[in-house]
Amino acid sequence: MVIEKLDRLRALFSELDRAVIAYSGGIDSTLVAKVAFDVLGDRALAITAESPSLLPEDLEDARVQAAEIGIKHQVVLTHEMDNPNYTSNPINRCYFCKSELHDTLKPMALSLGYPYVIDGVNADDLQDYRPGIQAAKERGARSPLAEIGISKFEVREISKYLELPWWDKPAQPCLSSRFPYGEEITIEKLQRVGRAELYLRRLGWQNVRVRSQGDTARIEVMPEAVKRFVLETDLGALVEGLRSFGFMYVTLDLEGYRSGKLNDVLMAGAIA
Protein backbone atom coordinates (compact mmCIF):
# COMPACT_ATOMS: atom_id res chain seq x y z
CA MET A 1 0.00 0.00 0.00
CA VAL A 2 2.72 2.51 0.93
CA ILE A 3 4.66 1.71 -2.26
CA GLU A 4 1.53 2.40 -4.30
CA LYS A 5 1.12 5.74 -2.53
CA LEU A 6 4.78 6.57 -3.13
CA ASP A 7 4.23 5.91 -6.84
CA ARG A 8 1.20 8.21 -6.77
CA LEU A 9 3.26 10.89 -5.01
CA ARG A 10 5.94 10.64 -7.67
CA ALA A 11 3.29 10.81 -10.40
CA LEU A 12 1.83 13.95 -8.84
CA PHE A 13 5.20 15.69 -8.92
CA SER A 14 5.81 14.56 -12.50
CA GLU A 15 2.80 16.69 -13.46
CA LEU A 16 4.43 19.81 -12.00
CA ASP A 17 6.99 21.81 -13.92
CA ARG A 18 8.69 23.45 -10.94
CA ALA A 19 7.84 23.63 -7.25
CA VAL A 20 8.85 25.33 -4.03
CA ILE A 21 8.61 23.15 -0.94
CA ALA A 22 7.64 24.79 2.37
CA TYR A 23 10.30 22.83 4.21
CA SER A 24 10.53 22.82 8.01
CA GLY A 25 12.91 19.88 8.28
CA GLY A 26 10.21 17.75 9.90
CA ILE A 27 9.57 14.23 8.65
CA ASP A 28 6.57 15.23 6.49
CA SER A 29 8.07 18.14 4.57
CA THR A 30 11.38 16.29 4.28
CA LEU A 31 9.68 13.37 2.54
CA VAL A 32 7.96 15.83 0.20
CA ALA A 33 11.31 17.51 -0.51
CA LYS A 34 12.95 14.14 -1.19
CA VAL A 35 10.32 12.98 -3.67
CA ALA A 36 10.16 16.42 -5.29
CA PHE A 37 13.92 16.36 -5.84
CA ASP A 38 13.88 12.78 -7.14
CA VAL A 39 11.28 13.73 -9.74
CA LEU A 40 12.08 17.36 -10.52
CA GLY A 41 15.78 17.64 -9.72
CA ASP A 42 16.95 21.27 -9.89
CA ARG A 43 13.39 22.35 -10.64
CA ALA A 44 12.55 21.80 -6.96
CA LEU A 45 13.53 24.30 -4.27
CA ALA A 46 13.14 23.82 -0.50
CA ILE A 47 12.64 26.96 1.58
CA THR A 48 12.76 27.03 5.36
CA ALA A 49 11.24 29.85 7.38
CA GLU A 50 13.50 31.09 10.16
CA SER A 51 11.76 32.65 13.14
CA PRO A 52 11.92 32.59 16.96
CA SER A 53 9.50 29.64 16.98
CA LEU A 54 12.12 27.37 15.35
CA LEU A 55 15.06 26.12 17.37
CA PRO A 56 18.43 26.96 15.75
CA GLU A 57 19.32 23.27 16.13
CA ASP A 58 16.23 22.28 14.14
CA LEU A 59 17.15 24.78 11.44
CA GLU A 60 20.59 23.20 11.24
CA ASP A 61 18.97 19.75 10.96
CA ALA A 62 16.92 21.06 8.03
CA ARG A 63 20.08 22.27 6.31
CA VAL A 64 21.84 18.94 6.83
CA GLN A 65 18.89 16.91 5.57
CA ALA A 66 18.44 19.11 2.49
CA ALA A 67 22.12 18.71 1.67
CA GLU A 68 21.88 14.94 2.00
CA ILE A 69 18.84 14.85 -0.27
CA GLY A 70 20.57 17.13 -2.76
CA ILE A 71 17.72 19.61 -3.12
CA LYS A 72 18.42 23.32 -3.43
CA HIS A 73 17.71 25.00 -0.10
CA GLN A 74 17.14 28.56 1.00
CA VAL A 75 16.25 30.14 4.34
CA VAL A 76 13.96 33.16 4.64
CA LEU A 77 12.96 35.22 7.66
CA THR A 78 9.31 35.41 8.63
CA HIS A 79 7.85 37.99 10.96
CA GLU A 80 4.78 36.49 12.60
CA MET A 81 5.99 37.87 15.94
CA ASP A 82 5.19 41.36 14.63
CA ASN A 83 1.50 40.43 14.36
CA PRO A 84 -0.53 40.84 17.59
CA ASN A 85 -3.11 38.44 16.14
CA TYR A 86 -0.38 35.81 16.46
CA THR A 87 1.36 36.81 19.68
CA SER A 88 -1.91 37.12 21.62
CA ASN A 89 -2.24 33.37 20.96
CA PRO A 90 -5.91 33.02 20.02
CA ILE A 91 -7.33 29.61 19.10
CA ASN A 92 -6.62 30.35 15.42
CA ARG A 93 -3.01 31.44 16.07
CA CYS A 94 -1.77 28.93 13.51
CA TYR A 95 -3.82 30.70 10.82
CA PHE A 96 -1.76 33.86 11.23
CA CYS A 97 1.50 31.91 11.31
CA LYS A 98 0.76 30.10 8.05
CA SER A 99 -0.57 33.32 6.51
CA GLU A 100 2.79 34.96 7.18
CA LEU A 101 4.63 31.91 5.84
CA HIS A 102 2.71 31.66 2.58
CA ASP A 103 2.50 35.42 2.08
CA THR A 104 6.29 35.25 2.14
CA LEU A 105 6.75 32.09 0.06
CA LYS A 106 4.20 32.63 -2.70
CA PRO A 107 5.53 35.92 -4.13
CA MET A 108 9.07 34.65 -3.68
CA ALA A 109 8.24 31.46 -5.59
CA LEU A 110 6.54 33.36 -8.41
CA SER A 111 9.42 35.81 -8.73
CA LEU A 112 11.82 32.87 -9.13
CA GLY A 113 9.62 31.16 -11.70
CA TYR A 114 8.06 28.48 -9.49
CA PRO A 115 4.28 28.25 -10.02
CA TYR A 116 3.60 25.98 -7.05
CA VAL A 117 4.17 26.08 -3.30
CA ILE A 118 3.91 22.62 -1.74
CA ASP A 119 3.60 21.88 1.97
CA GLY A 120 3.91 18.76 4.14
CA VAL A 121 0.36 18.51 5.49
CA ASN A 122 -0.55 14.83 5.76
CA ALA A 123 -3.92 13.08 5.86
CA ASP A 124 -3.97 12.84 9.66
CA ASP A 125 -3.54 16.59 9.98
CA LEU A 126 -6.94 17.04 8.36
CA GLN A 127 -8.55 15.26 11.32
CA ASP A 128 -7.24 17.74 13.90
CA TYR A 129 -7.98 21.41 14.47
CA ARG A 130 -5.42 23.04 12.15
CA PRO A 131 -6.50 26.56 11.12
CA GLY A 132 -3.17 27.01 9.35
CA ILE A 133 -4.29 24.56 6.68
CA GLN A 134 -7.01 26.98 5.64
CA ALA A 135 -4.52 29.85 5.40
CA ALA A 136 -2.32 27.77 3.11
CA LYS A 137 -5.26 26.77 0.91
CA GLU A 138 -6.39 30.39 0.60
CA ARG A 139 -2.96 31.19 -0.84
CA GLY A 140 -3.01 28.36 -3.34
CA ALA A 141 -0.62 25.95 -1.60
CA ARG A 142 -0.91 22.26 -2.38
CA SER A 143 -0.62 19.36 0.06
CA PRO A 144 0.32 16.21 -1.90
CA LEU A 145 0.48 13.95 1.17
CA ALA A 146 -3.06 14.89 2.15
CA GLU A 147 -4.29 14.78 -1.46
CA ILE A 148 -3.12 11.21 -1.83
CA GLY A 149 -4.26 10.21 1.66
CA ILE A 150 -0.83 9.50 3.16
CA SER A 151 -1.01 9.27 6.96
CA LYS A 152 1.72 10.10 9.46
CA PHE A 153 2.45 6.40 9.89
CA GLU A 154 2.73 5.99 6.13
CA VAL A 155 5.06 9.00 5.91
CA ARG A 156 7.43 7.15 8.21
CA GLU A 157 7.00 3.86 6.35
CA ILE A 158 7.74 5.48 2.99
CA SER A 159 10.70 7.36 4.46
CA LYS A 160 12.04 4.09 5.86
CA TYR A 161 11.55 2.39 2.48
CA LEU A 162 13.54 5.21 0.86
CA GLU A 163 16.25 4.64 3.50
CA LEU A 164 16.04 8.17 4.83
CA PRO A 165 18.03 8.12 8.09
CA TRP A 166 15.55 10.41 9.84
CA TRP A 167 12.48 8.23 9.13
CA ASP A 168 11.82 7.87 12.87
CA LYS A 169 12.63 11.47 13.78
CA PRO A 170 10.26 12.74 16.50
CA ALA A 171 7.71 15.34 15.44
CA GLN A 172 8.77 18.89 16.31
CA PRO A 173 5.95 21.38 15.71
CA CYS A 174 6.76 25.04 16.18
CA LEU A 175 7.53 26.17 19.71
CA SER A 176 4.41 28.34 19.83
CA SER A 177 2.37 25.16 20.20
CA ARG A 178 3.74 24.79 23.74
CA PHE A 179 1.53 27.56 25.14
CA PRO A 180 -2.14 27.31 26.17
CA TYR A 181 -4.45 29.47 24.09
CA GLY A 182 -4.70 32.98 25.45
CA GLU A 183 -1.22 33.11 26.98
CA GLU A 184 0.82 35.77 25.22
CA ILE A 185 3.75 34.49 23.19
CA THR A 186 7.02 36.40 23.41
CA ILE A 187 10.49 35.77 22.04
CA GLU A 188 11.76 35.30 25.59
CA LYS A 189 9.14 32.63 26.33
CA LEU A 190 9.90 30.81 23.08
CA GLN A 191 13.60 30.80 23.89
CA ARG A 192 12.89 29.53 27.39
CA VAL A 193 10.84 26.60 26.09
CA GLY A 194 13.34 25.89 23.35
CA ARG A 195 16.29 25.76 25.72
CA ALA A 196 14.34 23.51 28.10
CA GLU A 197 13.44 21.02 25.38
CA LEU A 198 16.98 21.00 24.05
CA TYR A 199 18.22 20.32 27.60
CA LEU A 200 15.93 17.28 27.81
CA ARG A 201 16.91 16.07 24.35
CA ARG A 202 20.53 16.14 25.40
CA LEU A 203 19.60 13.98 28.38
CA GLY A 204 18.32 11.42 25.87
CA TRP A 205 14.58 12.21 25.86
CA GLN A 206 13.82 12.77 22.19
CA ASN A 207 10.01 12.45 22.25
CA VAL A 208 9.45 15.28 24.70
CA ARG A 209 7.49 18.50 25.10
CA VAL A 210 7.85 21.30 27.63
CA ARG A 211 4.51 23.05 27.90
CA SER A 212 4.70 26.58 29.27
CA GLN A 213 1.93 27.72 31.60
CA GLY A 214 2.88 31.01 33.18
CA ASP A 215 6.01 30.33 35.25
CA THR A 216 5.45 26.56 35.18
CA ALA A 217 7.14 24.06 32.86
CA ARG A 218 5.00 20.95 32.34
CA ILE A 219 7.09 18.14 30.88
CA GLU A 220 5.48 15.55 28.63
CA VAL A 221 7.21 12.33 27.61
CA MET A 222 5.62 9.35 25.88
CA PRO A 223 3.08 7.61 28.18
CA GLU A 224 5.09 4.41 28.32
CA ALA A 225 8.18 6.40 29.38
CA VAL A 226 6.65 8.33 32.32
CA LYS A 227 7.71 5.84 35.00
CA ARG A 228 11.18 5.44 33.51
CA PHE A 229 11.56 9.22 33.36
CA VAL A 230 10.94 9.50 37.11
CA LEU A 231 13.26 6.62 37.94
CA GLU A 232 16.14 7.52 35.64
CA THR A 233 16.19 11.32 35.79
CA ASP A 234 18.08 13.32 38.39
CA LEU A 235 14.99 15.34 39.28
CA GLY A 236 16.83 17.85 41.44
CA ALA A 237 19.28 18.66 38.66
CA LEU A 238 16.41 18.83 36.18
CA VAL A 239 14.52 21.35 38.29
CA GLU A 240 17.61 23.49 38.69
CA GLY A 241 18.31 23.26 34.97
CA LEU A 242 14.85 24.44 33.94
CA ARG A 243 14.85 27.14 36.60
CA SER A 244 18.05 28.47 35.10
CA PHE A 245 16.09 29.08 31.89
CA GLY A 246 13.50 31.18 33.73
CA PHE A 247 10.85 28.74 34.94
CA MET A 248 9.83 28.88 38.60
CA TYR A 249 8.09 25.50 38.81
CA VAL A 250 8.70 22.18 37.04
CA THR A 251 6.04 19.47 36.75
CA LEU A 252 5.56 16.18 34.91
CA ASP A 253 2.33 15.40 33.04
CA LEU A 254 1.36 11.92 34.27
CA GLU A 255 -0.78 11.25 31.20
CA GLY A 256 2.26 11.70 28.99
CA TYR A 257 2.55 13.24 25.55
CA ARG A 258 -0.49 13.18 23.30
CA SER A 259 -0.65 15.07 20.04
CA GLY A 260 -3.23 17.86 20.02
CA LYS A 261 -3.64 17.88 23.81
CA LEU A 262 -3.88 21.66 23.98
CA ASN A 263 -6.97 21.47 21.78
CA ASP A 264 -8.83 19.59 24.52
CA VAL A 265 -10.05 22.93 25.86
CA LEU A 266 -11.77 23.58 22.53
CA MET A 267 -13.65 20.29 22.69
CA ALA A 268 -14.67 21.07 26.27
CA GLY A 269 -15.88 24.53 25.27
CA ALA A 270 -13.53 26.19 27.73
CA ILE A 271 -12.53 28.83 25.16
CA ALA A 272 -15.04 30.57 22.97
Percent of the chain with pLDDT over 90: 88
CA distances from 266 to 14, 84, 90, 134, 144 (A): 40, 21, 11, 18, 28
| pTM score | 0.90
Alpha helices in the chain (DSSP H): 2-14, 27-40, 56-69, 84-87, 93-111, 131-138, 144-148, 152-161, 187-202, 226-232, 235-243, 264-267
Report the CATH architecture of 175-267.
2-Layer Sandwich (3.30)
Question: Going by CATH, does the domain composed of 2-161 fall within 2.30.30.180?
Answer: no
Do residues 46 and 35 touch, judged by C-beta distance below 8 A? no
pLDDT digits (tens, 9 = 90+) for 131-174: 999 999 999 999 999 999 999 999 999 999 999 999 998 888 89
Helices and strands in the chain, H and E counts:
12, 7
Domain boundaries, the chain: 2-161, 175-267
Say which residues have a Cβ less than 8 Å from residue 57's Cβ, sequence separation at least 6: 198
